[in-house]
Amino acid sequence: MHPILLDFGPFQLHTYGLFMALGFLMAMGWSILETKRAGLPHELVPDLTISIILGAVVGGRLLFVLLKLPYFLDHPLEIFMFWKGGLVFSGGLAVGLLVGLWEGRRRKQPFLKWLDCVVPGIALGQAVGRIGCLTAGCCYGSETTVPWAVTFTDPLCLAPAAVALHPTQIYHALSGFTVFAILVSLRDRFKGPGQRTGLYLILFALFRIIIEFYRADFRGTLGPFSVTHATTAILGCIGLWLFLRPQQRST
């Protein structure tokens, strides 16, 4: 893969950063369409998106750094080089949601209704961003003999070189596109406040927990599971509560 797309001496365009930016822009664009359809003040989307993006980047990077703390203690300046790869999506999602909650309350907006509008965009942005993970070699998979395995040869990639690996980045991207399609196609099926958000968290957790078993990069250990397994399971439980909550209220 090609972690550096363009190299003009002091200027380098990292492919990971490019796809992350594209993912954020697509998420924002789709969120504008959804909020317009829901009758929400869509002009707030850019401001809210910037706040949530900053929170997501900080949260995703913080969890990544904590998982690899000994390395970053020896290389402290690399903590801020997130454009080279190294964001944990579950950490970014958790902090991004907290920032969104704070911003929504500050602006006196219906938080769950807003979340229901933005989660399809989050899934879409996640899918696009994962293509950047593939180019950087982060979030790489375990060794495999499956015919669709990927082999990294660029020495700048974060994945082991010259080894056939599960393309977990592609698995993540496909899961993101699948969740996006489900949320869009079932837009009018689940109308309870927060129910669409709950469905997103459930689907995200389900796909992520499965894909985690094929990942080989270090994500912390909890016996046979990873730290990401635990954080994702918590998000899935929150999603289940949100999904069932409107039904409980109606009975």
> What is residue 251's predicted lDDT score, i.e. its pLDDT?
37
Q: What are phi and psi of 143, to 5 degrees?
A: -65, 145
Do the strands 225-226 and 221-222 form a parallel or antiparallel pair, or are they unpaired? antiparallel
pLDDT digits (tens, 9 = 90+) for 130-188: 998 899 888 899 999 999 999 999 888 888 999 999 999 999 999 999 999 999 999 88
> Hey, is 164 helix, strand or coil?
strand
Report residue 4 CA to chain centroid gap.
21
What is the C-alpha to C-alpha distance for residues 237 and 150, in angstroms, rounded to an integer? 33
> What is residue 250's predicted lDDT score, i.e. its pLDDT?
42
Report residue 170 CA to chain centroid gap.
13
What is the C-alpha to C-alpha distance for residues 52 and 100, in angstroms, rounded to an integer? 6
Write down the pTM of the prediction: 0.82
> What is residue 36's predicted lDDT score, i.e. its pLDDT?
92
What is the C-alpha to C-alpha distance for residues 89 and 91, in angstroms, rounded to an integer? 5
**Could you tell me the CA-to-CA distances from 232 to 53, 60, 188 in Å, in that order?**
19, 13, 27
- Ranges of the chain with pLDDT below 70: 9, 82-87, 89-90, 246-251
